[in-house]
Amino acid sequence: MAIFGAMIARTFSTATIRSLRVCVVGSGPAGFYTAEKMLKAHEEAEIDIIDRLPTPFGLVRSGVAPDHPETKIVINQFSRVAHNERCSFFGNVSLGSSISLSELRQNYHVVVLAYGAESDRVLGIPGEDLSGVHSAREFVWWYNGHPDFSQLAPDLKNTDTAIVLGQGNVALDVARILLRPPVELATTDIAIHALAALRESSIRKVYLVGRRGPAQAACTAKELREILAIKNLYVNIKQDHLRITSADEEEMKNNRIRRRVFDLLSKASLSSQTHPSSGQPELHFTFFRMPDKFIESTDISGHVAGVNFEKTTLKGSAGSGNQIAAGNGEYEDLKCGLVLKSIGYKSIPVDGLPFDHSKGVVPNIRGRVLSSSGVDQPEDGLYVCGWLKRGPTGIIATNLYDAEETVASISEDIKKKNPASGFASTKPGREGLLQLLENRKIQVVAFSDWEKIDSEEKRLGSLIGKPREKLSSWKELLELTKK
């Protein structure tokens, strides 16, 4: 409990200057960029970042693939923000269970929700609950040592074939991790349990299946080039799937990324061998197929044995927006023993938060949360940033621009409220938060506690030639911070 005392004392001593109390929920890129922008824009602001995990950095730690270390360098910048004397990180604090949204709003002048998208879109087709069918997010959390999914243990030994549904960058990430020689992953921060399972994996054939065509594939060129460059990979793309229509041409004319992806796919199909050689890893891009149902195995009850797809054609003109996939009544089965659904992430609402369930986002105007009263009225002091604000799209840097917009809205509102300085009413801020958490006996993880975890993970990694070995259970993480 010493941490509470020290932090509260620090808060009291500076209470007069730090009159603007801000809480950011979520310590991923959207949360840290928001905190950074707020610190710069408001000298009077004291910012607390809370996260339900004991570890900070959100999808930089749990989402970015282990073989993309360059993408994780941004952690250095976020750590500098956390070390700012006006900023604090409190991990293991869950909005909705440790503390409610209305309690946060009572304690802070400004609450910014930036807790991302921790669930998945569902297909809603028969067999989705069969074992062997996972969301890509679960699989990614598993190989990234996220404490909620380190126990997933996907079965990679009883099949040689995996189907990945969707053709976005997450689909490419999971396909690459399945196909890349494990020796190349051994020096990354991939979780040791995942590395061991991949070493023993019998999967050598991955189907990346899209409901639309190669002119609509959702991935980007750099990531596509990377997977195509896997050593000794056999790539299969059917020539007739590469025949494009004038509507496709029109779509690609308006979208350079799509054009580049299409050109890369065409080139890969021309340069690939006619047949794979024995034991060669295979990547099959399959287009114009939408999943209709998952097929249950006749050998292992309750386990997936394949996917039944309906073939599609594209409807709608490129001029009126994107063409969409429509089933044409023809069906085809594809056998497999593992399915990873990579059809997009989904945000989860909390009590008291207006939420658009169809879009999976918090209704907002430039980051100002709109009340659920039906009138376009912003909620006082409540803002949103990142995937919760705009949906699960974009790269890490997209959140920088997103945070800029949200912070600009906050600054405008503050100016309107009290043009002189700060806020008329005082709010307890950090002091109120920590008191509530102490009353509820919640073990708060401070940034200095995270640094203990960080050091230990680096130490464990150095023993086996890895940059870090993540502690991947709640118990390990929380016990280490108690020391």
Q: What x-and-dash track marks residues 345-384 binding ligand NAP by CB under 6 A?
A: x---------------------------------------
Interface pick for ligand NAP out of 162, 174, 343, 410 (rule CB under 6 A): 343
The reply on whether position 402 binds ligand NAP by CB under 6 A is: no
Interface pick for ligand NAP out of 3, 8, 15, 123 (rule CB under 6 A): 123
Phi-psi label, residue 317: left if phi above 0, alpha if psi -120 to 50, beta otherwise: beta
Interface pick for ligand NAP out of 45, 264, 268, 290 (rule CB under 6 A): 290
The single residue listed with the structure tokens 């928001």 is 34
Angle at 24 (CA atoms; ends 21, 25), nearest 5 degrees: 135
Buried b (16+ CB within 10 A) or exposed e, 272-307: beeebeeeebbbbbbbbbbbbbbbbbeeeeebbbbb
The reply on whether position 393 binds ligand NAP by CB under 6 A is: yes
The reply on whether position 223 binds ligand NAP by CB under 6 A is: yes
Q: Is 453 exposed, middle or buried (0-12, 13-18, 19+ CB in 10 A)?
A: buried
Residue number, 165 or 480, with CB nearest to ligand NAP: 165
Sheet holding 133-135, edge to edge: 133-135, 338-341, 161-165, 205-209, 282-286, 234-237
278 Cβ contact list (under 8 Å, min separation 6): none
DSSP state of 319: G
Residue number, 30 or 444, with CB nearest to ligand NAP: 30
The reply on whether position 171 binds ligand NAP by CB under 6 A is: yes
The reply on whether position 109 binds ligand NAP by CB under 6 A is: no
The reply on whether position 211 binds ligand NAP by CB under 6 A is: yes
Interface pick for ligand NAP out of 54, 127, 392, 422 (rule CB under 6 A): 392
Classify strands 445-446 and 87-91 as parallel, antiparallel or unpaired: antiparallel
Residue number, 173 or 379, with CB nearest to ligand NAP: 173
Angle at 159 (CA atoms; ends 142, 147), nearest 5 degrees: 10
Stretch of residues binding ligand NAP (CB under 6 A), selected from 14-22, 234-242, 341-349, 362-370: 341-349
- Residue 378 pairs in a beta bridge with 370
Interface pick for ligand NAP out of 98, 107, 144, 216 (rule CB under 6 A): 216
The reply on whether position 307 binds ligand NAP by CB under 6 A is: no
What number of chain residues touch ligand NAP (CB under 6 A)?
A: 26
Residue number, 58 or 168, with CB nearest to ligand NAP: 168
Note the residue count of the chain. 483
Q: Return phi, psi of residue 221, to 5°.
A: -65, -45
Interaction residues for ligand NAP, span 64-103 (CB under 6 A): none
Which residues bind to ligand NAP, rule: CB under 6 A? 121, 123, 165-171, 173, 210-212, 216, 218, 223, 290, 325, 342-345, 392-395
